[in-house]
């Protein structure tokens, strides 16, 4: 049987296989290798540090860390209220402070009287717009316009489209100019309404002007004249007998239908009853500021209906006054 001889190898002459051994094989790099080994050992983080939500990791081993509670924001403190209704009350008070006050009283300043008289004159001028609308849409006027256009269409010289268009536009413009001419007197009536309208020719006294103010702006006016009354011997401010005559009653367009006019009527009734007695009558004057009609009666239906509504409103206010009197 042959004998196998195992030769012992000298591994000292072999090249190192691992990266660290290769580095250690170089004498100048042994110190650097030791440093990197130490650094790697210290960069290994514990599991607690890896699971932490802290944005910056701690390199030193630590069991736990306690963060200081965040300080409350001054903005959050300033908007937090113990009582939520206080915020609503403050907001409501701020809104109310921006709304001008609404007042109703007899005006005594000349500027206020002029403004009230101008408001009445504007209401007279506004009748022109309503009269123009009535004329434009009235069946009789529309029938006349249609008949005129039909006659123009059958004119032998107006067979081409251009001539027909020009002739039709001319007829329509003439229709509008006629309406403007017929309703023009309302502007003259408004211009004639001056300070003399407020003077009673029999007593030379000024009428009472009741105005509703929205802040400093007059939005409603009523002109009241006490006729047939004479001063009471006991009280100078009181009068005996007589009646209250409403000579003008109007409000601005955007304030109509909001109860401003009825409040003016109530104040007129109250003043008449207090100064002329509880049995004093109150009514509209036959020749009030808006009573003049410049068109034929067949076109004044809208104005007659308005007078009827005004009369019913005054009757309602007088009924309320009598009802309170009987209680």
By CB atoms closer than 10 A (0-12, 13-18, 19+), residue 268 is: buried
At 100 the three-state DSSP class reads coil
Q: What is the pLDDT of residue 97?
A: 56
Could you report the per-residue pLDDT of 228-261, keeping only the tens digit for each?
765 554 555 556 678 999 999 999 999 988 899 9
Residue 103 · residue 213 · CB < 8 Å: yes
Q: Is the pLDDT confidence value at 296 over 70?
A: yes
Angle (CA) 281-286-288 rounded to 5° is 100
Q: What is the pLDDT of residue 242?
A: 84
Q: What is the pLDDT of residue 70?
A: 52
| Residues 27-39, mean pLDDT to the nearest whole number | 50
Question: Among the listed ranges 137-146, 158-167, 241-250, 293-302, which one has the minimum average pLDDT value?
Answer: 158-167
pTM over 0.85, yes/no: no
Q: What is the pLDDT of residue 165?
A: 85
Strand order in the sheet with 102-106: 102-106, 208-214, 217-227, 243-251, 282-284
For 42, 181, 232, 235, the CA distances from 53, given in Å and listed in that order, are 21, 87, 94, 91
As given in the structure block, the two tokens for residue 116 are 């009230």
Q: Is the pLDDT confidence value at 9 over 50?
A: no
Q: What is the pLDDT of residue 152?
A: 83
Give me the half-sphere count of Cα atoms (radius 13 Å) on the Cβ side of residue 99: 9
Q: What is the pLDDT of residue 98?
A: 65
The DSSP code for 297 is G
Mean confidence (pLDDT) of the chain:
77
Specify the domain boundaries for CATH 3.40.630.30 within the chain: 196-326
As given in the structure block, the two tokens for residue 36 are 């990197």
Give the pLDDT band (50/70/90) at residue 55.
very low
| Distance between CA atoms of residues 181 and 131, nearest Å | 11
| Distance between CA atoms of residues 209 and 223, nearest Å | 5
Q: Which CATH number is associated with domain 196-326?
A: 3.40.630.30
Q: What is the pLDDT of residue 62?
A: 45
| Distance between CA atoms of residues 206 and 195, nearest Å | 9
């Amino acid at each position: 049987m042959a004998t196998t001889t195992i030769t012992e190898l000298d591994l000292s002459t072999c090249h190192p296989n691992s990266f660290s051994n290769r580095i250690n094989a170089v004498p100048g790099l042994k110190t650097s290798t030791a440093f990197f080994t130490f650094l790697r050992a210290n960069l290994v983080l514990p599991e607690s540090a890896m699971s932490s939500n802290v944005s910056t990791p701690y390199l030193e081993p630590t069991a736990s860390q306690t963060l200081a509670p965040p300080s409350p924001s001054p903005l959050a403190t300033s908007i937090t209220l113990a009582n939520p209704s206080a915020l609503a009350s403050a907001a409501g008070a701020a809104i109310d402070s921006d709304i001008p006050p609404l007042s109703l009283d007899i005006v005594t300043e000349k500027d206020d009287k002029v403004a009230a008289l101008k408001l009445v004159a504007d209401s007279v001028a506004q009748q022109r717009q309503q009269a123009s609308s009535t004329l434009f849409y009235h069946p009789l006027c529309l029938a006349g316009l249609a008949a005129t256009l039909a006659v123009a269409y059958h004119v032998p010289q107006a067979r081409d489209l251009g001539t027909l268009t020009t002739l039709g536009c001319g007829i329509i413009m003439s229709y509008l100019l006629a309406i403007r001419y017929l309703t023009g007197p309302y502007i003259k009536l408004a211009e004639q309404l001056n300070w003399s309208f407020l003077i009673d020719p029999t007593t030379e006294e000024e009428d009472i002007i009741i105005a509703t103010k929205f802040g400093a702006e007059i939005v409603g006016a009523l002109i009241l004249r006490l006729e047939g009354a004479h001063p009471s011997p006991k009280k100078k401010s009181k009068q005996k007998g007589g009646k209250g005559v409403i000579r003008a009653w109007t409000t601005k367009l955007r304030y109509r239908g909001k109860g401003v006019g009825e409040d003016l009527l109530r104040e007129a009734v109250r003043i008449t009853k207090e100064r002329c007695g509880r049995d004093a009558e109150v009514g509209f004057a036959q020749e009030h500021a808006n009573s003049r009609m410049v068109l034929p009666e067949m076109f004044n239906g809208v104005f007659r209906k308005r007078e009827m509504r005004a009369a019913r409103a005054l009757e309602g206010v007088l009924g309320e006054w009598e009802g309170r009197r009987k209680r």
